[in-house]
Structure 1
Amino acid sequence: MARDPDTIEREIEKARDALASTLDELGTKASPKRLADNAKSSLQTTLDQPKVKYPLIGAGVLIGLLLVRKLLR
């Protein structure tokens, strides 16, 4: 069952356009700037949570006090 060459050409063009669109989407999603921005916003969201924020502040204060104590010796 042979197919019409024009039909085959149209199908190839459709497949090519779909592939180009998919590659453009992948390029956008895998952009290093976009990945960095996503990581930054995710980290900021995590650090804004009180159950993470306050223990980190406490650890920072403790380290600061230990450093001051060591310098005063």
Structure 2
Amino acid sequence: MARDPETIQRDIEQTREALASTLDQLGTKANPKKLVDDATTRVKSKFDDPKVKAALIGAGVLVAVLVVQRLFR
């Protein structure tokens, strides 16, 4: 079955548009600034969790106590 040139041209244009759209999406997702912003947001949201805050405070207090003990021995 032979296809007419207009149909082939239309298919080519649709494929180009789809490819351009896909490349734009990939460019947006792979943007280093966006990746850093997303990672920063995730880390900040983890530190906002009360359980994580309590654990970090506890670890900080423990380290401070150990440092003070070492200094006065």
Name stretches of at least 5 consecutive residues in structure 2 with no aligned partner. none
Give 4+ residue runs of structure 1 displaced > 6 Å after superposition.
none
Percent of residue pairs bearing the same amino acid type:
60
How far off its partner does 1:61 sit? 1.3
Distance 2:72 2:28 in 1: 54
Gaps of 5+ in 1: none
**Residue in 1 that maps onto 2:13:** 13
How many Å apart are 1:9 and its aligned residue? 0.9
The alignment status of 1:31 with 2:31, answered yes or no, reads: yes
TM-score by length of 2: 0.90
TM-score (norm 1): 0.90
**What is the total number of aligned residue pairs between the two structures?**
73
Partner of 2:51: 51
What's the offset of the Cα at 1:72? 2.4
